[in-house]
Amino acid sequence: MLYIVSTPIGNLKDISLRALKILKDVDLILCEDTRVTKKLLNRYDISTNVESYHQHSRINKIEKIKELLKEKDLALVSDSGTPGICDPGNQLIKQLDCEISVIPGACAVAAIASVSGFSMDKFVFMGFPPHKKGRNKFFKEILSFKYPVIIYESPYRIEKTLKELGDREVVIGRELTKKFETIYRGIASELKIKTKGEFVIVIK
């Protein structure tokens, strides 16, 4: 069995009792960065072995995982939030032929949608904007949608992104669930924000 386990997006208390039990009971935890995952495991006195699986993992790593799953139960986690969303988990999952169980939990997309105040009956999620190539096309596309759009952005490009969004109304979550969590609302190009941290944006 492979368990897809959601982990906190910042606050380590935001993890379910079921997730903790699975992480304790499985034979091995696959994670993006073992150092990040061990912080969570240490917080809850979980001693399960961890092994890296990330976007740079080679095909032979996937083959090794396939062999392990013939006899063992594994859990897949990302550094934060739900695996398979803007991380390489989906590349692994689609190549497996085994039972898979999802352990839902924290997700930045759902978190920002819930506090946006916009009608979120329908929305589009577009992940991270391209750094350079295809960036103009990306923003033209998202600005053409008639439904709210949610994107992620890094502190290195957040100011550039706000300029590209121009006069669109946005809600921005900075460092969600963490000590310095901040929610910004207003016209994208007019907002003055702290550029340190991780960002998730709803564009109306």
For residue range 69-126, list pLDDT tens digits in order. 889 999 999 998 988 887 776 777 777 777 889 999 999 999 999 999 999 999 999 9
> CA–CA separation, 180 vs 198, rounded Å?
11
Say what the pTM is.
0.87
Q: What is the CATH number of the domain that holds 99?
A: 3.40.1010.10
Q: Report the C-alpha dihedral over residues 57, 60, 65, 66, rounded to 10 degrees.
A: 140
Give yes or no: residues 96 and 160 share one domain.
Answer: no
Please choose, from the candidates 144, 141, 119, 115, the residue with its C-alpha nearest in 3D space to the C-alpha of residue 129. Answer: 141
Please, which pLDDT band fits residue 64 given cuts at 50, 70 and 90? Answer: confident
Q: What is the CATH number of the domain that holds 125?
A: 3.30.950.10
Residue where a domain stops, chosen among 69, 103, 137: 103
24 by DSSP, 3-state: which?
helix
Q: Are 105 and 78 in contact (CB under 8 A)?
A: no
Q: At 82, which amino acid appears?
A: T
Q: What is the pLDDT of residues 153-171, one digit of tens each?
A: 999 999 999 999 999 999 9
Please choose, from the candidates 39, 142, 34, 20, the residue with its C-alpha nearest in 3D space to the C-alpha of residue 3. Answer: 20
